[in-house]
Amino acid sequence: MGKPSSRSESSRADQKFEKKLQFYAKVRDTVATLGANKAITKKKRLRSRQKKLKAYDLSTLSEFLPDLKAPKQQPNASNFKVNSKSRQKLLTVEESRMKAVLNHPAFQANPLAAIHEHLQSTQPVLDEKVPRKENRSGKKTKKKKKPKASAGPQSMEI
């Protein structure tokens, strides 16, 4: 059991190095095969998605359906440009609407009731009741009251 020779040390280092290279080669091969498998599954998904899209493609039926004219859409606030011409047009429309409201017999009889009725018919009804949460058995739960903390010091005994 003497001093190891320099020759055995170098061969041992070479063996370790070779083992390390083999390990890296295995890892590289595994990564390559996993990448290939992932690419294959992506292609399969894409093909199945395209098949589904073909199944739901109803464009061939459009030639048998009657042509409908697109309904006139009112300009949205996002694409509505305010310039003097559009502002003038808006003013005339709103002026005529205001005159119609003022001349309406229900508004002349009781303005606040007429406004309230209009809002009731045009606005969605909001239910102010908040539903209670139900537990597993289907019964509604109640909020538990927390016990009041006592003012005196408490000791913990085991």
- Rounded to whole angstroms, how far apart are CA atoms 40 and 46? 10
Percent of residues, the chain, with pLDDT higher than 70: 63
pLDDT score for 151: 58
Residue showing tokens 């809002």: 119
Residue pair 132/139 in contact (Cβ under 8 Å)? The answer is no
Asked if residue 157 has pLDDT above 90, the reply is no
142-147: list long-range contacts, CB under 8 Å, 24+ apart.
none
User: How many Å separate Cα 88 from the centre of its chain?
Assistant: 41
Asked if residue 141 has pLDDT above 80, the reply is no
- For residue 54, name the pLDDT band (cuts at 50, 70, 90): confident
Average pLDDT over residues 106-128: 85
Asked if residue 1 has pLDDT above 50, the reply is no
Residue showing tokens 């303005």: 111
Percent of residues, the chain, with pLDDT higher than 90: 30
* pTM: predicted TM-score of the whole model, two decimal places: 0.30
Query: 20-38, pLDDT tens digit by residue?
Result: 999 999 999 999 898 888 8
Residue showing tokens 């009112």: 74
Average pLDDT over residues 73-87: 72
- Rounded to whole angstroms, how far apart are CA atoms 97 and 110? 18
Asked if residue 48 has pLDDT above 90, the reply is no
- Rounded to whole angstroms, how far apart are CA atoms 123 and 110? 20
Distances (CA, A) of 127 to 37, 92, 118, 131: 54, 38, 19, 10
User: What does the angle CA 58 – CA 61 – CA 66 come to, to the nearest 5 degrees?
Assistant: 130
Instruction: Report DSSP letters for 100-113, one per residue.
Output: HHHH-HHHHH-HHH
